[in-house]
Amino acid sequence: MMVRRKQVIILAPCTLCIGCSRAPSISVVGSFFPVWMLCLLIGTVLTFVARILLVRSRLETEVGPLALFYPSLLTLCACLLWLIFFR
Amino acid sequence: MPTDPGIPKRRQVGRILQLVVVSLAVVLLVLVVLATDRNPRTDDASVRANLIEIAPEVSGRLAELPVKDNTFVKQGSLLFVIDPRDYEYALRQALSDQDNLEQRISDARRKIAAQNSAVGAARAAVLNTTTGVKTAGSGIAVAQATVSRAKAATIAAEARWRYAQNDLHRLEPLLTKQYVTIDQVDLARTAVDTARSAYDESLAALSEAQAQETQAKLRQQSASDQATQSEALLGQALHVVDTLDILMSMRPSLAAKVDRARLDLERCRVVAPFDAYVTNMNISEGAYAKPGSPMFTLIDSRNWYVIANYREGKIKNIRIGDPVDLYLMGHPDRKFRGKVESVGFGVLPEDGKVVGGLPDVDRTLNWVHLSTRFPVRIRVEDPDPELFRIGATAVTVVR
């Protein structure tokens, strides 16, 4: 378990560096949307999931001002997705 | 209120979570900003290639049109054929003109040879008449000698005649005294008559010799006239000899006409100047081709470019020769390699209008200015001929 965690910790920055070779635009019904919109959308979904988890574990009240925490979480998720897949 | 032992721990976890999330968000945001700054990207890019409009150089109806719209043609393959008959006839005409000139030249050569012979004949005639003049001159000398001789003979005859007369006059008085016989007197008289006739004869011979002299002089005159005439004839013959200069000077002009006709005939067959795609072709056989008016378009498939418009703030990180990742929006999963070839040096400025001789400057209170974008020309290094089309949307990332 510890070994796997270590591997993940080591490999995570590597995935950041490698990125993925896919066009940084997405075609939706004949229009091309920039990928950061997609990242933002998925980030929002992930943030909602995180909020549900935080509420379940009764941690939401402990993470400081929510107006700072959730936008930060959203930014984190979106940037992470962008860096991994579309850099 | 009972203190829950889980609360401080949860609070601690919450604190750490907050700290990690906020700081990581800041760090990743900075990373994203750095990444987009170091590797500028744009989706405002399109595929380009050089293209030419194929226009014929001669006019006529299209006899053959083997190519079709949107097909690939190799360099040197036939695009269309213009009805060549007009140009074949023109070439034949030019060749016949050239042949005609050659015939005229050889004809003129023959004529010149004949005229040269005439010159030779005239020259011989001149020599001949000159000799005639000399002969006539010697004839005069002969005649003069004859005249002199005749004169001398006349004088001698006259002297003899006078002597005979004197003899007779001496004898006649002696006859009366009978010192001489009649026969002697008769003999003397006969001698006088004989001498008289000899004298007359020599006079006649003198006249004849003088006439002959005159005749010889006239003959010389005539001979010298003939010499003058033959010299004049020689001069005429010399001047009459034709030259080839005019005909020769026509040779290059006719040769140029033949070359021109041949070139026109070659131009009836139009071939592809490079590997290309045929496009914008909306004609069939029989279309009338006019020099300079395009029939259809050829897209040069040897080189493909992407023109990407980058904001002026990003231009500083784009250097000529930088590798570029290219994506076509039609095939977003395929990555192509490119290289920055050049960065545009000018776009049309928004201001700078001049109205009525004065610059037209808007009144404005703009705090936010949109940055200008410059076209960056990127050469595609591994184009897929199946996928690249002029005007296709592309996304570029300069590495």
- Mean pLDDT of the region A1-19: 49
> Does the distance separating the beta carbons of A82 and B32 come in below 8 Å?
yes
> What is chain B's mean pLDDT, rounded?
89
Contact B21 A63 (CB under 8 A): yes
* Helix/strand/coil for A40: helix
Q: Mention the CATH class of domain B40-83+268-398.
A: mainly beta
pLDDT in tens, B108-133: 999 999 989 988 998 999 999 899 88
**How distant is the Cα of B26 from the closest Cα of chain A, in angstroms?**
8
**Average pLDDT value for residue range A13-36:** 68
Give chain B positions within 8 Å (CB) of A68.
Answer: 18, 22
Note the CATH architecture for domain B88-249: Orthogonal Bundle (1.10)
Q: Which residues of B touch A34 (CB under 8 A)?
A: 43
CB contact under 8 A, B28 and A76: yes
Query: What are the respective helix, strand and coil percentages of chain B, to the nearest 5?
Result: 50, 20, 25
Structure ipTM: 0.76
Query: What is the percent of chain B with per-residue pLDDT over 70, rounded to a whole number?
Result: 98
* Residue spans per domain, chain B: 40-83+268-398, 88-249
- Inspect the interface and report whether the beta carbons of A25 and B327 lie closer than 8 Å: yes
Instruction: Answer for the pair B293, B70: CB distance below 8 angstroms, yes or no.
Output: no
Q: What is the pLDDT of residue B273?
A: 93
Q: Which residues pair with B207 in a beta bridge?
A: none
Residue of A63, A77, A81 to mutate when probing chain B, most B C-beta within 10 A: A63
Residue B145, pLDDT > 90, answer yes
Most A CBs within 10 A among B10, B22, B30, hence the mutation to make, goes to B22
Region A12-16: what's the mean pLDDT? Answer: 48
| Whether pLDDT at B4 is above 70 | no
Whether A66 contacts chain B with CB within 8 A: no
Domain boundaries, chain A: 2-85
Q: Is the pLDDT assigned to residue B83 strictly greater than 60? A: yes
More confident position, B242 or B56: B56
Contact call for residues A34 and A86 (beta carbons, < 8 A): no
A3 pLDDT tier (thresholds 50, 70, 90):
very low
- Coil, helix or strand for A46? helix
Inform me whether the pLDDT recorded for A27 exceeds 80: no
Contact state of A59 with B41 under an 8 Å Cβ cutoff: no
Q: Do A59 and B17 touch (CB under 8 A)?
A: yes
Q: Contact at 8 Å (CB) between B220 and B140?
A: yes
Per the CB < 8 Å rule, is B395 touching A23?
yes
Which has more confidence, B252 or B351? B252
Coil, strand, or helix at residue B220? helix
Residue A27 Cα distances to A34, B330, B335, angstroms = 9, 9, 16
The model's pTM is 0.65
